[in-house]
Amino acid sequence: MIRKVFRQGSVATLLGLGALSPSIGAELRGIHLSSDTNSAQVTLELTDGALQKLFTLDHPDRVVVDLPHTHLARGIRMPAPAGVVTGMRIGSQPHGTLRVVVQLKSALPAHSTWGAADTGRQLVLTLGPLVASINSGPKPVYALHAPGDGDRDVIIAVDAGHGGVDPGAIGHGGTREKDVTLAIARALAKALDAEPGMRAVLTRDRDQFLELRDRMARAHAAHADMFVSVHADSIRDRSISGASVYVLSAHGASSEAARVLAERENAADLMGGILEDKGALRPVLLDEAQSQIIGISASAAERVVSALEGVGELRRAQVQHAGFVVLKSPEVPSMLVETAYISNPAEERRLREPSQQARLARAIASGVRSYFTQNPPDGTRFKQVRRSTLASAGDAASAATTP
């Protein structure tokens, strides 16, 4: 059974690889091991980086790394067991995930860091006490001890876009984006609160102007596990309709339309007279920690996309990427949902209907719930449920096939 679990998420999407397509992805081109009697370092040479999961298992003690959308290059040699490492193997998991299992003589703390390599990227797993030299590099990520029994709620910050002096987009019938986003945000909070183990916090619950960074700060102050910003898109072509889901981009927008949209949403701060913060509109520079957060955001956003697709509300079937300032939080996985086109007369009408607001809200809530069911944060009720499910399903790592 899983004893220590770490954070999850697919970072492949932010590398512009089209992470939703299993046919494209990274290649594992080399594995190196150095080990002594009480520590080990495993280096994985990859064409691109995407750490989905790092966790440890016992009986026997193992460290497991899941790499989404990754395949093994031909002719890779597994390093021979040495020191504390008694064996290594690689197996395929569903949906194109490659699993690397390192078996140990005894349990060791594990953490990972990404670095550059000749092949592209390098994932270094350090098993054993953290050494000082690692601290000088990119921020390491730790496989944490799961706390014994926590049952706190997963907290979702629900952000109604625009507000106050910033009306957002305005429909041909005069509907203001700031009003429908507030209505949908309230419906979403209600839908989330109705889920056992979840609690919603609204960044605004009235017609109020908020700076983008204020919205993030409120989510952070509420100890949010996720941030969902609700918007309604607008475009010149009135025939275009449907929802899209966005996460922060590390390498430019996924389309010109996404870039223009991000510029428009980012301009909200300018409407409130906050002109001094030019930095907010600069391209987003990401460190390792933020890249990981985007990976988590993208995999949660994929769930919301599926849920919206399930109710037939989708414009784009893939998670979109762009440089939204409101999604820049370095700690809280964040997504922005453009629920519909307020510029489409039929959607504008529907956006005003409480039944449609509730329908969109329920779909978003079910996507969020689906994500946390699969990826429960430590100390939450979701985690307790997950742990008991895994226990009854048996040892997860035994699913790794030996090549």
Report DSSP letters for 288-349, one per residue.
HHHHHHHHHHHHHHHHHHHHHHHTT-BS-SS-EEE--GGG--SSS-EEEEEEEETTSHHHHH
To which residue do tokens 């609160």 refer? 193
> Closest approach of Cβ 379 to Zn ion, in Å?
33
> Closest approach of Cβ 180 to Zn ion, in Å?
10
The interface with Zn ion within residues 109-138 (CB under 5 A) comprises: none
The interface with Zn ion within residues 265-294 (CB under 5 A) comprises: 265
Among 107-115, 123-131, 184-192, 259-267, which window interacts with Zn ion (CB under 5 A)?
Answer: 259-267
> Closest approach of Cβ 360 to Zn ion, in Å?
14
> Closest approach of Cβ 339 to Zn ion, in Å?
10
User: What is the rounded distance in angstroms from the CA atom of residue 313 to the CA atom of residue 246?
Assistant: 15
Query: Which of 161, 163, 242, 367 contacts Zn ion by CB under 5 A?
Result: 161
Give the residue with the Cβ less far from Zn ion, 265 or 288: 265
Query: Which of 218, 231, 350, 359 contacts Zn ion by CB under 5 A?
Result: 231
Give the residue with the Cβ less far from Zn ion, 33 or 304: 304
User: What is the rounded distance in angstroms from the CA atom of residue 394 to the CA atom of residue 308?
Assistant: 32
> Closest approach of Cβ 265 to Zn ion, in Å?
5
> Closest approach of Cβ 268 to Zn ion, in Å?
7
Among 40-48, 158-166, 234-242, 244-252, which window interacts with Zn ion (CB under 5 A)?
Answer: 158-166
Give the residue with the Cβ less far from Zn ion, 25 or 168: 168
Among 159-167, 307-315, 343-351, 367-375, which window interacts with Zn ion (CB under 5 A)?
Answer: 159-167
What would the two tokens of residue 221 be?
């102050």
Question: What dihedral do alpha carbons 345, 350, 353, 358 form, nearest 10°?
Answer: -150
Q: What's CA 196's distance to the chain center, in Å?
A: 22
User: What is the rounded distance in angstroms from the CA atom of residue 384 to the CA atom of residue 375?
Assistant: 12
Among 13-21, 118-126, 163-171, 244-252, which window interacts with Zn ion (CB under 5 A)?
Answer: 163-171
- What string marks each residue from 183 to 222 as x (binds Zn ion by CB under 5 A) or -? ----------------------------------------
- Give the DSSP H or E segment for 351: helix 345-351
Give the residue with the Cβ less far from Zn ion, 225 or 265: 265
**Amino acid identity, residue 220?**
H
Give the residue with the Cβ less far from Zn ion, 161 or 171: 161
User: Which residues, 6 or more positions from 126, have their beta carbon under 8 angstroms from its beta carbon?
Assistant: 39, 40, 41, 110, 111, 112, 113, 134, 140
To which residue do tokens 């390093």 refer? 79
Give the residue with the Cβ less far from Zn ion, 143 or 360: 360
Helices 288-310, 354-374: axis angle to 10 degrees equals 130
Query: Which of 96, 168, 242, 323 contacts Zn ion by CB under 5 A?
Result: 168
Among 67-75, 129-137, 262-270, 357-365, which window interacts with Zn ion (CB under 5 A)?
Answer: 262-270
Cis status, amide bond into 60, omega within 30 of 0: yes
**Amino acid identity, residue 327?**
L
Give the residue with the Cβ less far from Zn ion, 61 or 265: 265
- How far is CA 149 from each of CA 49, 120, 196, 379, rounded to the nearest angstrom? 33, 40, 17, 6
> Closest approach of Cβ 29 to Zn ion, in Å?
42
Told to check if 171 binds Zn ion by CB under 5 A, we report no
> Closest approach of Cβ 303 to Zn ion, in Å?
22
Strands of 62-67's sheet, edge to edge? 85-93, 97-104, 62-67, 53-57, 2-5, 144-145
Give the residue with the Cβ less far from Zn ion, 265 or 313: 265
Query: 398, exposed or middle or buried, with CB in 10 Å at 0-12, 13-18, 19+?
Result: exposed
Count the site residues for Zn ion by CB under 5 A: 4
Residues that bind Zn ion (CB under 5 A): 161, 168, 231, 265
